[in-house]
Structure formats: structure tokens, C-alpha cells
A and B are shown apart, each in its own frame.
Chain A
Amino acid sequence: MDNVYKKIKAAIKNKATPYLFLSPTVILMLVLLVLPIIMVIYYSFLNNAVVVKEPHLVGLSNYKSIFSDKEFWGAIKNTVFFVTVSVAAHIAIGMGFALLLNSNYFKRGTKTIARVIYVLPWVFTASVIAILWKLMLQPSGIIDYLLSFVQLATKDTEWLSNRKISLAVITFVNIWCGYPFYMISILAGLQGISQDLYESSALDGATAFKRFLYITVPQLKPILLSIMMLDFVWTIQSFSVIWMLTGGGPVNSTQTLSIYIYKLAFHSSKYAKASTAAVFALVVCIIISIFYVKQQKKVRE
């Protein structure tokens, strides 16, 4: 009898264990994030929120008006460019730097210095990054000066105010300030890969590139997937740097979804519409994160 009781108790304990480990996180997330998100979803069905005393439900009319807004689709287009290029460049540069720093070709001291320099873009707050790049990119700034030696620019070359290249320029700045996150994560991940794997393949005479492709990448895959997923979500929301560099201009050429939402909420006091656009972003991210969770599962199996 006693034995059975113990077994049941153990079984319950076993079932409950993961939930015990998760409970603090889940409670915090539910209260602090899920609750406000539900509020935002609710706002998206109101005529307006926050600035009106007695809002009323209007069904899907905010969604209709957002989807028929040319500016919204312009913002989506800019966001798609901004996010894809940023994420792709982040992973390429982050991986490249991590491998460089992890290689055996350099002395310890060299690598230490390089590691510190490479992580630098990461330690500054968004407004400082924006101001710094604005300082460097404006006409007669240091970038124009340096590029004028190789005939790529003149004193008056405009980077941020040229509608044709402004989106590419802000994407570049975002790449600059975002890659160290990948670099650090990948560097950490590389330490988890057993040397044995490399050694056995080195004996087989595999080239460096093959080793990278067949050992490093598969080993890093779970971490890579995670950081790409997070980076994707964060880049969609990237706001401060763009806002302080261009404010979404010139002529909306750098207006991403988050700038569009900010302008709706804080310039036009249309919180309901801003929430609607935000819900759109949320839905896209949820779809992608479901896909991600499935992938993550596959990687494990």
C-alpha cells in the first residue's frame, strides 16, 4: 500500500516538476505582458482609446481603415526590407566575427583586444547610436570627409536625406548596432561544441569550410534559430534609432511599421488605429513563432 502511495506521489511530482520550474516566468509574463496585450487587442476594436472618455466598440472598422491606408502598406514594404536585410546581415557578420575570434590563428592578446572592439557597438543606448551616426552621416561629416579621398562622396553628399538611399542607410546603422548580439551568442554556442567532433573530422581530412558546414552549423542550429527568431521580432519593433535618425522621413521613405504606429498614437492620438497596426505585427510574429517552435522541436528530434 505504502509503496503504491509513494509511486503516485512520485508520478504527480514528476508531472508537476516542469510547471514548478516554469511558474515564476509564466506568472510574470501573464500578468505583465499578456494582460496589457489583451488590452491592446481590445483597443483595436474601439473607436478610439486612451484619449476619449467613453470609447465604444466599432468592430473591424479600424482593420478596414488600416488595410486601405497606402501609408500602412508603404510602411510594411519598408519594414520587410529593413528586417530581412538586417537579420541576414546580422547573422553573416555575427557568425563571421565569432569564427574569427574563435579561430586559432591569432594570439590571445590580439583576440582579447578584437573581442572588446567588436562588442563596442552594443554598449550604447539607442539615442546615442542615432546621434553618433547622424553626426557622422550629415553633409560635411566625417563619412563624407573620408569617402571624399576615394571619390565616393563630396562635402555635401547627403545620406539620410536622400530618399533613394535613406532606407538602406538606416538599415546599415541597424546592422552596425545589432550584430554583437549574434557574435556573443554564437561565440558562447561555439564553446559548447565538443572538440572531439572536429578532431575526428580533421582526421578524415575535411576542409575548414566543410567542417563549418557539417559540424558547426548543425551544432549551432538551435541557438541560431533562437536568436534569428528574437532578432526578427526585435527588428520589427526597432524604433528609437530610426526615429532619431530620420523620423520616418524624408517623405516616409524610412517609415517602418513601428514609426507608423508611433505617429498614429502620439502625433495623431489615434490609439485604436495604432493598436490595430500593432495587432497586425503581433499576428505575424505569432505565426512565425509557431513555425519556430515546430522547427525547434524538429531540431531536437
Chain B
Amino acid sequence: MKMKGLFKKLAALSLVGVMSIGVTACGSGTDSSSTSSKNTAEGTAESTAAAEKGGKDTGVTIKFQQWWGVECPEGYVQNICDQFYKDTGITVELLNAPFADTKTAIESGAATGTVADLVSVDSSWVYDFADSGLLTNMSDLLAADGFDQSIFASTWDVNGSIYAVPVVNYAYPLFYNKDILDKAGVTELPKTWSKFKEACQKIKDAGYYSFALNLDASSPSGIQNVYMGFAWASGIHFKKDDGSINVAGNGDLKTFAEYYKELFDAGYIYPGMASLTEADMTSKFASGEIAFIVNSAAAITAWNKDYPDLNLGAAAIPVKDDYTGKSGNCVASWAVGITENSRHKEEALKFFEYLMAGLNGDDASINADLAVTQSAFPGSTLAKPDYSASSEVFQDIYANYNAGYPINEFTGMKEANTIMVDWINELIPYMDGDTDVDTYLNNVQAAIEDIYGN
């Protein structure tokens, strides 16, 4: 008898489950605009509707795997897709995955033939994706289409061919918390390394954390954005002009490493850096714990929304005291590539071109608007973003960005993620004082060469 009762309960539960799913499936059909994706049934329904209106439904649906929809204001990316459908009759279905797992989703999709037609790519993946044949050679596609490639602000090339193109670029300025600086008596923004150190000391004396370096191993972006970002500002590079690796015996890099170690030894760097993630770092900065961080300008939108009390400012990254040249600005991008196995390469290319230069290749208002919305810089040189309504903070970032040049030496490197983790694994023992600076740099050089050697 007891068992009967149990099964009745379970059966009833599952029945409720099935029914409610049916109900929501119907429910979501009526307000597809608010959901970020639509199922096929809805797609067809809309297509027919469009066809009746005299539209030109092509019946083609391309899938776009990205994490932008989650980052942008709700419905923003979907609106672009809806407009694209109205203009061309091509449906774009957005596939969302968390940023941290997008690479896993794309790779497993590619291996099993379920990958989207268009994928957004991080700079650290592009070499591996091109090398494994996951991404198609965009140079060929663009040439065949006769698209004007000169409008691209930058492209991600592997072996001389384009495999992905940044749609928008993000600067990585030095953000500061004005309230903490005021309390610590830092009246002038530090422009040089020594001034930065002085400022850090004042902040520390005032009882705040001065600066943060995120070296968590699961997403090793800190070594690129914060560590090397700081170096690039002073024209310090880890590659020679010919692209060869120049870490071991690089005097500039050694000076830089020693400077960072001084910051660390003096206690200016937020504790727990070896497991600090970018999300932790930005949250702590925004909560008013840390005075300075280097982070993506994309964070401004979220900060404005969630941290109304944050008194934020942005400055150029301090440079080496005797450095007078232009500053390299670390950039990160939202780039897209087209997958090799896509059956709708033409349509996917068309959507990409639409993002960059509109329907006829001459109107980059979509690109400009995306850039303005996300506090970013357009990937299309045609775009004339109107930042007049943007915050003062962003105006500063824009001015600094224009005064320097964009750089990211990690972009397009083989197994970039592994390189960054290896780098972190050598940096931490050096910062802790377990190895000396030459060993540290030699080991990084060896690790990178090992990856290229294989």
C-alpha cells in the first residue's frame, strides 16, 4: 500500500511537470520578443507573417553562438537580429552559453556537427579554432563577396588569413575610486610608476587596498589585461618586431617584473591574487574596497546599474618614469568568425557584414550603436559613434585610447590559455620570493617555446 502511495505521488509530480512545460511552451509563443531566443515553430510563424507583409523570407536560419546577449541590455542583440530578418528574410537564432564555457560549447559542437554558423570568439581561442579547421578562412569568403576589407579596424589573422574580425573593441584603462583617493589624500592622478607607488602607499595608509592583480588559473586573463597591460603602456613588449618570443633576458621586462614585485612586497596588491577572478576583482573594486584596478571598459555599464554609489574615474595606465613614447593600450574584443561546417556561410557572412557596415556596406550605425551601448570602440572604421551622451568616465577613456595605440600580444597565439596559465605559474613563485627574476623570465620563455615546439 505504501508503495502505491509513493508511486502515485511521483506520477502526479511528473504529470504536473509535463503539463506545466506544455503551458509555458504555449506561453512563450505569445511573447517571443521578451525571450532571447525562439523555437522553430515561432520562427516559421513569423516568417509566414513576414512573407504576407510582402517580405522576402528566405527560409534560412543561421545560428549565432555568443555571450553578448547576456552582457548587453536585455533584448538588445535580439533586436538587431529581428531588424536583420526584416531587411533580408534571414532568421538569426541566438544561442547563449556562459562566457567561461563558450569555448567548450563551440568545440564540442564542432566535433559533433552541431556548432552554430556564426560564433563569437575570444582572442585567446582564435589560433586553436583556425588551426583545427573549426573556423573558415574569412579572407576567401570576403574576397569572393567583394566586401571592402579596409573598413575593419582590426582583424585576427592566422598564417596570413583572416579567421575572425572584432566587431567592437574594449579598452582596459586604470579605473580608480575617487572617494578612496580623496580620503587618502591622493590629489593628482599618478602618471608614472614612482607616482603610482606613492599613491599606493597613501591609500594603504588610509586603510584601503591599493591595487589588484587577478591571477586565478581558471580564466587567466589577468596576466594579459592587468600585468602585461601595465607593461604595454610603457612600450614594454614580450615579442620582438618579427614576432619571436623575447622574454628571457629582456631588460625592460625584467625592470617591469621587479617593479611589480616591489608593489607586491609593499603590500599594495590585494591579498589572495592567486585565486582572484576578474569577477571578484571588479565586484570588490565596485564595493569600494580597492582604489585602482585595470579592467575592461565594458564593466562601466554594470557598475552604473548595480553600484550607484561608486564614484568612478578612469585614467591612463602609469608609465615608466623615463618613458616618453606613445602608450600601448590593451584591448579585448568581441569578434566573430564563421564555422567551416556551416551550411549557410553566405548568410552568416551577410549578418557579419550587417553588423559591420549595414545592409549595403555603407552604413555602420549598428556597429556604432553597439559600441556606444557597451562603452566600446567600433570594429568598423565607417562607424561614427556618438559618445556625446556617454559618461565623463568614458570620455576620459576615449581620449586616452586615441592618444595611444591598441595592442594585445596574446591575440592569435597558439594555446594562448595554456601560455597564460604557464606564465602565471612562473610569476607567482617569483612574487612570493621563491625564484629570482631571471629564473622567472627564463621559465616563461621556455614554457612558450615548448608550446610552439610541439
Seen from chain A, the residues whose Cβ lies within 8 Å of a Cβ on chain B are 50-53, 134, 138-140, 156-161, 163, 166, 243-252, 263, 266-269
State the CA gap A248–B421 with chains docked (Å).
10
Q: Within the complex, what minimum Cβ distance (angstroms) separates B426 from chain A?
A: 8
> How many interface contacts (CB-CB < 8 Å) are there between A and B?
98
Contact between chains at B132 and A249 (CB < 8 Å): no
Closest 4 CB pairs of A and B: A247-B218, A249-B217, A250-B274, A247-B217
Given contacts A139-B271, A161-B272, A161-B274, contact A250 B215 (CB under 8 A): yes
* CB of A259, distance to nearest CB on chain B (Å): 9
Which of B103-111, B141-149, B181-189, B392-400 participates in binding chain A?
Answer: B103-111
Across the interface, do A243 and B218 meet the contact criterion of CB distance under 8 Å?
Answer: yes
**Distance A116 CA – B328 CA, assembled complex (angstroms):** 57
Asked whether, in the complex, the Cβ of A263 is within 8 Å of the Cβ of B418, the reply is yes
In B201-228, the 8 Å CB interface with A consists of: 215-220
Question: Is there an interface contact between A250 and B428, defined as CB atoms closer than 8 Å?
Answer: yes
Q: Please name all residues of chain A whose beta carbon is closer than 8 Å to the beta carbon of B258 when the two chains form the complex.
A: none
Closest Cβ of chain B: how far from A93's Cβ, in Å? 25
Residue of B nearest to A248 (CB): B217
Alpha-carbon gap, A245 to B216, bound state (A)? 9
Does B300 have its Cβ within 8 Å of any Cβ on chain A?
no
Which residues of the other chain, A, contact B404 by a CB distance below 8 angstroms? none
Residue from A52, A156, A269 in contact with B415 in the complex, judged by beta carbons closer than 8 Å: A269
Distance A252 CA – B422 CA, assembled complex (angstroms) = 10
A50-B111, A52-B132, A267-B418 given as contacts; is B217 within 8 A of A246 (CB)? yes
Q: Specify which of B103, B107, B217 lies most central, judged by the most chain A CB atoms within 10 Å of its CB.
A: B217
List 14 A-B residue pairs with CB atoms under 8 Å apart, sorted by A's residue number: A51-B133, A134-B280, A157-B271, A159-B272, A161-B272, A161-B276, A245-B275, A248-B217, A249-B215, A249-B217, A249-B274, A249-B275, A268-B415, A269-B131
Q: Mark contacts of B263-286 with chain A using CB atoms, 8 A cut-off: 1 yes-contact digit, 0 otherwise.
A: 000000011111111001000000
**How far is it, in angstroms, between the C-alpha of A252 and the C-alpha of B418 when the chains are bound?**
12
A249 to B273, CA, bound (A): 11
B289 at the interface (CB under 8 A from A): yes
Please state if B274 and A266 are interface contacts (CB–CB under 8 Å).
no
Q: Is there an interface contact between B219 and A247, defined as CB atoms closer than 8 Å?
A: yes
Given A138-B272, A158-B271, A247-B219, is A267 in contact with B111 using a C-beta cutoff of 8 Å? no
Which residues of A are found within 8 Å of B429, using beta-carbon distances? 251
- Additional A-B contacts beyond A247-B220, A247-B275 (4; CB < 8 A): A160-B274, A247-B421, A249-B217, A252-B425
Taking A138-B280, A156-B271, A245-B275 as contacts, is the C-beta distance between A251 and B417 under 8 angstroms? no
Chain A residues with CB below 8 A from B451, complex form: 268
Q: Output the least CB separation between A39 and chain B (Å).
A: 11
Interface check B179, CB cutoff 8 A: no
